[in-house]
Structure 1
Amino acid sequence: MKQPYLGKKVLKLRKAKGLTQTELVEKCGITIRTLQRIESGEVTPRAYTIKAISEVLDFDFFDSLNTNKLVRESNNMLYRLEQVYKYIIDLFNLKINTMRKLKILSIPVILICIVLMTVSYNANAQRRIHKKLIGTWQVVKIDNTENQTQEKFIDWISFEKEGTVQLGNHVTTKSGTWTYNESKSSIVIKIEKNPMTEFNITEFSKKNLTMENKENIMYLEKNK
């Protein structure tokens, strides 16, 4: 990798101090061929060579190179931003390549519409699930005995709009909270001081709801 800035700086400082190439290499402990290649920008010297030259010429090349690098990077960034700005301005100039530019401009519009439709659909889906879930349900136990399916009433559970839940009847009621996790299709229920429990929904209709976790399965029937 060539380093013309470093070479020009070494050459300028050497002459400013009135040193010949021979005098400088003797003080630095390097060969004259190495110095000639550095000054011509053919090579980037090793760190210890730069350090030796820095000490003789009394100049911090490392700090100077870092500053120069930052300036170059900043200029490159400004150039790229300018090119992007020109491209955007040209893109909205529909007098040239009208159809091609309209196609390009239509892509982000279509993507935005798709995103908005997806968000709206998910929000509506969640509202529909909430609407179906809110109300009083019977918790039943399903017993399969002798090829017969029997339902046994266990308790009442009521899901309310405010995110609260009531377990039991009007005589003995336990209160808690519930939330619906759309991404997991699950219901998280916390009853009073009991640990929070998350049930995965495996079946959900207007009249029936089946939820399960690692410990048990809850069968719910909507109260008429």
Structure 2
Amino acid sequence: MSVRLLFPTMLWKYNLVEEGLITEEYLCQLKDDMDGLRKKDPVGRFVSNAHSGWQSNDGTENRPIWHKLYRIVQDKFNHEVLPFHNINTEKVQVSMGNMWMNINTPDGAWNRPHRHNGCWYSGAFYIQAEGGEGDILFTDKNDQALHNFPHNSKVSDLAKETPISGTLLLFPSGLVHMVEPNFSNKSRYSVAFNMVDYRLSNEFIVPPTKETPDWNLFEIDGDQLKK
């Protein structure tokens, strides 16, 4: 028999420190820049940060120290995300629409459920996080069950990630997500961003061939399930 995933949701996860793309020293430089901007603008803005913690205005991507991170994210899209979606990178370009800073303070700071409208992919990068400052939670927008049913991981409507310093997450902008309260003894530093695509041609999808695999189709041995 076969099982096909009808509406899969992609979450891309990297650790840029472990990949050798950035260093701990660079993370410290980013943190210092965040602290400097917060000192100049201690109020920031209130959007999803639920009147807690601190969030900067847009424009982080224009600050020189962040250009390296910008280029890394750009490369991830051009060499991995777009090819995964079978998109011709010679006919589609992706750039960062906006980026902003988040500091979730250890007084219960959290981010309410939200999505990022007006773009294709969104993401978050973590500058200082030890894993105990509150997970990021993702909610399935498609109801897998509407009545009483045996709970199991294959139909769960909630997924979570525990980010640490250097973690990069990329996900569809329409995916509803939130951040748990930070009840640790340290602030978590992160940035969030939105990616927009510029189509250079209407023919940007790579035509499928007979050799193109269906990544959503799984052949299942029924006898194995009975064991």
TM-score (norm 2): 0.18
CA radius of gyration, larger in: 1
Q: Which has the higher helix share?
A: 1
Q: Relative CO higher for 1 or 2, CA cutoff 8 Å, sep ≥ 6?
A: 2
